[in-house]
A and B are shown apart, each in its own frame.
Chain A
Amino acid sequence: MTIPEPEHHDGTSDATPGGYDHNRRPGELGFAFFMLVASLGLLWNAYGISGFEALSSPGAIPMATTLVMSVSALIVVARTARQPLVAGETIAKDILPVVVIIFVCFLLAYAFLLKPLGFLPTSALFLIVAIKMLSKRSWSFTLTVALGSLLVIWLIFRIVFTVLMPAGIVPEAEFIQFFRNMFNGGN
């Protein structure tokens, strides 16, 4: 099959997965090894479900799948270990740059703050910080884009999809009731 040269080898789709055919990327062996250990752990756990009690036991399929995972992970480890490291790539530059770590922390912080602070303040904070950091543009650009898009998202969610997000410190329900009353003429 014609194989287009994937951009940065980071796997845009299943048709062209990331990585290299004959080289390993930095950290790939570690990841493969981690998969192997995790698979073996899960296999042991699956054995604990019902052991070799019966072919139709609840543990049968879990044991079979984790066995498949362990065997395929072992093959991946063996294949990866034999391959030479790809030249010119480092973990810090190509696999896990600082910006990715920062964004994972942002996302964790978002999840952590969502309940106590509420959807609107947390999202506003997240969008402002994230857009400012990535775009490196002026504060007025950041604030306009962040708050404007948040408003659109919030309207779509609340009105079109009627999704309820944690209100937190913002009296959202009162806002909406206010507007409903206004549009319905108080009905």
Chain B
Amino acid sequence: METLLAFLTVFSHPQLLLLVGLGTFAGVYVGAIPGLSVTMAVSILISFTFSWDVYPAISLMIGIYMGGVYGGSRTAILLNIPGAPSAIATAMDGYPMAKRGEAGTAIGVTTVMSFIGGFIGIGVLALAAPFVSDFALKFQPRDYMLLAVLGILLVGSLSTGSLVKGIFAGALGIAIGAVGRDALTFTERFTFDLQIMEGGISFIAVMIGMFGVSEALMQLHHVDKTAVRQKISRIIPSMSTVRKHLPLSMQTSTIGVIIGALPGTGGDIAALMAYDHAKRVTKNPDRPFGEGAMEGLVAPETANNSAVGGAFIPMMTLGIPGDAVTAIMIGALFIHGLNPGPMLMVDNPDMFWFIVGALVTANCFMLFFGLTGIKLFTKIVEMPRSVLIPMIMLLSIVGAYAVNNSISDVYWMLGFGVFGYFMRHYGYPLGPVILGVILSRLLDDNWRRAIISEREDMGRFFEGLFSSPLSTVLLIAVVLIFVSQTPLWTRAKSILLRRSPR
């Protein structure tokens, strides 16, 4: 009964309902406008909502998250510019459909499929999280440590980029998180004897810099780019279309939930993997992939929205973020005095069921806003970048300043913005940096706890590790990711890739 009440919190508080709705509405546009990303919006928002209560703050963020993951698809279809990273795969078949004059159908199908995917993700979250959290109570400190390492490595290994650069980025994040006085011994770390460094670097400054300013600077390359808009016809898809693609959508939603639930990897990677899966399993598409196959829309759109629910699983049960946005939300929960992890589900189960309720609400709002307001949409999305870029920069500065009312945070933010800009150009992923910063403390604490409990003896540490099946599995996973970078593996992979149809 209490669970049900907590689940219905959003519905029983009109203010929260309004905030979720507002968030979803804003999210659809944030996701749709190229240059504005959900990660950016949530990281800027966290600094504005920290004076709020935790429920309204989380309501708004969840709305933006859910709406934003969907919103990217619209610009991908209409303009061939994915509005958000999670819609990169959607453009491949969505735009060809729009060019044929089927933009309305494409938008309708993506909306309904996002809705279905979203629900599957939330369903899995609601069913799986309580079990995972029971299980997580048995986790040893070393398991947390291994999970943190695994999460940081996964981004680099599942994306198309280089794992070494991913590892570098993750380690850099951990080092950034270690700056300042150590909480246990009060020893100074990486402070260079500067007083300003003693309190550490604000993770919000790092996040806004990396996802806000660096993206805005990047967009300066594309100021003059204009896109050709396509006409929109009928939007609401027929039941037969939906029914036809239901089996595929179940499969790709599962991919989405799993990728979302893996620490560190989110909707963008899930969408690309689901697209690949659809290409493999669809034997006779009505139209070839890349030329407007409906399956090419269904797969990424179900996957990226189901990844949202998935990403909350490790966040709520282990305190380890499922992707960059949940990493930021963990930061938000910390600010509000909550400590995400297995104890949160024990001490504060209401918070969990409230989040599930808010996600369900956001998903419904997404369906509603997705099938309406197309006229307004086309006007807002064509906001010129020459106006958008300065606004993002302004919001970033205000956001970085607002948390601690400190100008030095603004300078940090700018520093990380410029640094992130170069990282993007040269193929270093930014997600692991944020993950590293957020997980730095967890990694450090659990390592020390683990090694102290084994009386500083590495032999005993490994003995304990191998006597636990879970720790062994985690260690093997970490080692496998490393092995996957050796020349032997790369050669095997290239042979496999060459065989797969393009």
Contacts and interface: CB of A to CB of B under 8 A. Distances in A.
Contacts of A123: 394
Nearest to B156: A14
Contacts of A32: 426
Contact of B185 (A58, A79, A126, A162): A58
A69 B426 contact: no
Interface stretch (B106-114, B169-177, B355-363, B365-373): B169-177
Of A14, A61, A76, A145, the most chain B CB neighbours within 10 A belong to A14
A182 interface: no
B499 interface: no
Contact of A111 (B269, B397, B448, B452): B397
Contact of A103 (B164, B190, B220): B220
B238 interface: no
A107 B213 contact: yes
Interface stretch (B6-14, B341-349, B417-425): B417-425
Interface string A65-84: 11011001101100100000
Interface in B24-65: 48-49, 51-52
Contact of A28 (B48, B189, B426): B426
A123 B52 CA distance: 25
Contacts of B235: none
A130 B390 CA distance: 6
Interface string A7-23: 11111111111111000
Nearest to B213: A107
A85 interface: no
B199 interface: no
B175 A163 contact: no
Nearest to B445: A61
A17 B397 contact: no
A28 B424 CA distance: 11
Give the interface residue-count category, chain A: 35 or more
A153 interface: yes
A11 B424 contact: yes
Contacts of B398: 119, 153, 157, 163, 165
Given A8-B221, A58-B187, A134 B385 contact: yes
Interface in B467-499: none
Contacts, number: 252
Contacts of B427: 11, 17-20
A97 B220 contact: yes
A17 B159 contact: yes
Interface string A48-68: 011000111011111001101
A46 B155 CA distance: 26
A61 B447 contact: yes
A25 B425 contact: yes
B402 A59 contact: no
A164 B405 contact: yes
B376 interface: no
A104 B221 contact: no
Given A55-B451, A163-B398, A17 B428 contact: yes
A3 interface: yes
Give the interface residue-count category, chain B: 35 or more
Contact of B168 (A27, A35, A62, A131): A35
Interface string B126-162: 0000000000000000000000000000010001111
Nearest to A132: B386
Contacts of B172: 65, 69
A166 to B, nearest CB: 8
B189 A58 contact: yes
B68 interface: no
A111 B220 contact: no
A14 B431 contact: yes
A99 interface: yes
A161 interface: yes
Given A10-B218, A60-B448, A19 B394 contact: no
Contacts of A59: 187, 189
The 10 A-B residue pairs with the shortest CB-CB distance, nearest first, are: A19-B427, A13-B85, A134-B386, A135-B386, A17-B161, A130-B390, A11-B424, A15-B268, A161-B48, A72-B168
Given A16-B159, A114-B407, 8 more contacts: A8-B221, A16-B161, A18-B424, A19-B425, A31-B422, A59-B187, A62-B178, A135-B384
16 contacts: A13-B86, A16-B88, A16-B161, A17-B427, A50-B187, A58-B189, A62-B190, A66-B171, A72-B171, A99-B223, A103-B217, A103-B393, A104-B418, A126-B394, A127-B390, A153-B394
